[in-house]
Amino acid sequence: MTKTISVTATAEQAPGAKPDAATTTPVKLKRGRPPKSATKPPAADTDTGATLEPAAKRRRTYTKRAKATENGTSLGMDEGVFFTNRLSALEADTTQFVPGDEDISMFEEARAAACISEGGVDGGGTTPSTPSALASTVGYQAKKIQLGSYVIDSWYLSPFPDEYSRHNLLYVCEYCLKYMKSEFTFKRHCQRCEQRHPPGDEIYRDDNISVFEVDGRKNKIYCQNLCLIGKMFLDTKTLYYDVEPFLFYILCENDSQGYHFAGYYSKEKRSSMGYNLSCIMILPSKQREGYGKLLIEFSYLLSKKESVPGSPEKPLSDFGLLSYRSYWRRAIYEILLACDGAVSIDYLAAQTGMTIDDIISTLQTDGMLHRMPGTPGSYAIVADAKKIREYVNKAQEKSPRRIDPCKLRWAPFLIKAPPSAAPTNRRRSTSTALAVNNSLVNITSDNENDK
């Protein structure tokens, strides 16, 4: 609801004179509101009580000052108000913080010196122009680790977090594998760390050698640290943080102080390809002591316990292929020396836990498979007993450490259903019966050949 009032907008008039009709303008106003011509009083500062300028004027003042700062000039107090008169013109002037040519040259010299100290400058002596280019040129990585009483050089780049990768030396606890970037933190951790062995179950112990089985799902942090350390010495390793589908077998040397980490290997819990080993690593300080072949032999012992032939994950690295061929040759030769009569490949697979493909590959590499004349598709194993015996004796002298199956305390992670289990349908029962009959025929024929 509105009402109309008359507002006089004219000069002074004589007392008692009536207003001119031409200068009287009707204005419609809403009830409860002042006329539009009314202005608000200027705001006052709550602290000082000083009258503040309108917001529009303050914005214009700040804009004017920003433009002046860009041009390298400064404004005086008479040209504008800075922070409601709380700062003087000298205090509000920010032009002195703009880097000049001398500042830029000092920064370039410091950055070049940092590149040289980190070994990141190329032969031409050029320096990168951006921080990202600087990081890629320097190649930040942990170049050494201190593990126990050893300081070990890194072979390959390992994806440690950024704050750790920028340090040349990382300190690693040999019991819990936690890595630290300062010696003080490392010493304090060693005094407080109560762990003296890897988390998990000790499934094998022989003299001062122990093997622990660690589940990647139950001990995720430990296994991730283990993979980061392993990547420092493995070029083809690509798994670091997704450790839940894997089991880790940790090789340790035990003494009165605890169990000291020496190496490990990992395998998938459910391998569709039948792999019994995914990754294997022995610390450089513990190499040339037979630990690599010891872990390979241990992986095949578990495969025989599972009654499933196993094979390492392909493709193998150069060092891995040499180690595995050496172990395959030794395992096959020992079986051949122990048998007097004919030996089949199925018998070798059952005794060694190896797959038929690995056995055939080893025999072909050594030239021990010969085609039988007159029977197409048939081959015979022909071996020189003297050469085999010499190789086995030399291998035993070189690496006397062996796995004793009697000292293993372990149950398979996945239990295979026995062949005599009740079938769920007719088709599955038929295939199971055929598989059992075939295996019995193979074993029987091998025993007959031995006789």
- At residue 52, what is the residue type? L
- Joined together, the tokens standing for residue 380 give 């015979």
Contact 66, 92 (CB under 8 A): no
- HEC states along the chain? CEEEEEEECCCCCCCCCCCCHHHEEEEEEECCCCCCCCCCCCCECCCCCCECCCHHHHHHHHHHHHHHHHCCCCCCCCCCCCCCCCCCHHHHCCHHHCCCHHHHHHHHHHHHHHHHHHCCCCCCCCCCCCHHHHHHHHCCCCCEEEECCEEEECCCCCCCCHHHHCCCEEEECCCCCCEECCHHHHHHHHHHCCCCCCCCEEEEEECCEEEEEEECCCCHHHHHHHHHHHHCCCCCCCCCCCCCCEEEEEEEEECCCCEEEEEEEEEECCCCCCEEECEEEECHHHCCCCHHHHHHHHHHHHHHHHCCCEEECCCCCHHHHHHHHHHHHHHHHHHHHHCCCCCCHHHHHHHHCECHHHHHHHHHHCCCEEECCCCCCCEEECCCHHHHHHHHHHHHHHCCCCCCHHHECCCCCCCCCCCCCCCCCHHHHHHHHHHHHHHHHHHHHHHHHHC
- Contacts of 201 by beta carbon, 8 Å cutoff, 6+ apart: 212, 213
d(CA 68, CA 64): 6
- The yes-or-no answer on residue 313 being catalytic is yes
Catalytic annotation, pick one of 313, 334, 390, 448: 313
Q: Please give the biggest Cα pair distance in the chain.
A: 148
User: Are 181 and 167 contacting, i.e. CB atoms less than 8 angstroms apart?
Assistant: yes
Q: Which amino acids are annotated catalytic?
A: 313
